[in-house]
């Protein structure tokens, strides 16, 4: 068995099912001590009355691995702090945080309710910020005590809905675009402490994506979480210290590094609304096209 993550303590949020479960299982197989966080809610965020986190922990322990269950709400600031403290109290260390928890409340802009917007933004955006903030503070304080790079790792979860744009997911896409920006900024801020921050843009067939569209057997296999988990395991390992501030597209037949916003065609500044229209139209026509959910130019 590989020892890529031997004795590294890693928190995985939303690890009770789907892609998060796959992360937790693979990390445990690679020697990590895993904190399996999950609220055990439905795809839209309702309580299901079961403990999926405990089930994953049992599976890990029965296979000879080490794991504990955690049921804190990632979007609760104090709860996120308690989650970080649980890892430190139980294992005496924290090396990695995988922010994976999420829900869906799909609706077009004209029909979306305030509650549907708030729920998705809270779980995805605040639910990435809050655990990351407390983990980062712990690593900063540890660096101040030792003066040595701490080897911390954060892996966030973005999405094609945020990076490319997907109709009917304006709340989810906004959150995922925000997470991409958060990843780049946090990577710059935490580099001084020896902490890396990366994100993935996963294509996976999980509870979150089932029923959204018909897929062939080959497409479902290509979207199995096993095509994504190895990259996450490597990104939280000690080996990945030279990779930070990056977003990787994984699954669905993809293994690619994403490239962010860059300045495109330019012109001399214009301070007259009557004259700027043709200049903006020319710039828009010369700029690279926006892309669809497959990364292809929109018609």
List the catalytic residues: 172
Question: What are the start-end ranges of the E strands in 163-257?
Answer: 196-202, 247-251, 254-257
Helix, strand, or coil (residue 9): strand
* Bridge-based pairing state of the strands 247-251 and 254-257: antiparallel
Distance, in Å, from the CA atom of 126 to the CA atom of 92, rounded to the nearest integer, reads 26
With beta carbons less than 8 A apart as the criterion, state whether 101 and 123 touch.
yes
Element (H, E) at 65: none
Q: Round to whole Å and give the CA distance between 37 and 24.
A: 10
Q: Which residues, other chains included, contact 7 with Cβ-Cβ below 8 Å and sequence gap of 6+?
A: 31, 32, 33
């Amino acid at each position: 068995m590989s020892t890529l993550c031997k004795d590294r303590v890693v928190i995985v949020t939303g690890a009770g099912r789907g892609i998060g479960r796959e992360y937790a299982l693979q990390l445990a197989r690679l020697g990590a001590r895993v904190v399996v966080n999950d609220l055990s809610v439905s795809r839209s965020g309702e309580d299901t009355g079961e403990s999926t986190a405990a089930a994953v922990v049992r599976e890990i322990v029965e296979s000879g691995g080490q794991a504990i269950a955690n049921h804190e709400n990632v979007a609760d600031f104090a709860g996120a702090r308690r989650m970080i403290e649980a890892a430190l109290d139980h294992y005496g260390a924290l090396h990695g945080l995988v922010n994976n928890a999420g829900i869906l409340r799909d609706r077009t802009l004209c029909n979306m309710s305030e509650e549907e917007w708030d729920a998705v933004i809270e779980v995805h955006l605040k639910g990435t910020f809050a655990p990351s903030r407390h983990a980062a503070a712990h690593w900063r304080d540890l660096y101040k005590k030792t003066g040595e790079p701490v080897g911390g790792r954060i892996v966030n979860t973005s999405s094609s809905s945020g990076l490319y744009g997907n109709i009917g997911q304006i709340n989810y896409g906004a959150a995922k675009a925000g997470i991409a920006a958060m990843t780049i900024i946090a990577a710059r801020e935490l580099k001084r402490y020896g902490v890396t921050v990366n994100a993935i843009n996963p294509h996976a067939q999980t509870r979150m994506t089932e029923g959204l569209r018909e897929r062939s057997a080959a497409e479902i296999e290509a979207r199995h979480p096993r095509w994504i988990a190895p990259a996450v395991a490597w990104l939280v390992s000690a080996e990945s210290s030279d990779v930070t501030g990056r977003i990787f597209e994984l699954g669905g037949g993809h293994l690619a590094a994403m490239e962010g916003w860059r300045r495109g065609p330019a012109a001399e500044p214009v301070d007259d609304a009557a004259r700027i229209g043709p200049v903006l139209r020319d710039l828009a026509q010369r700029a690279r096209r926006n892309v669809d959910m497959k990364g292809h130019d929109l018609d």
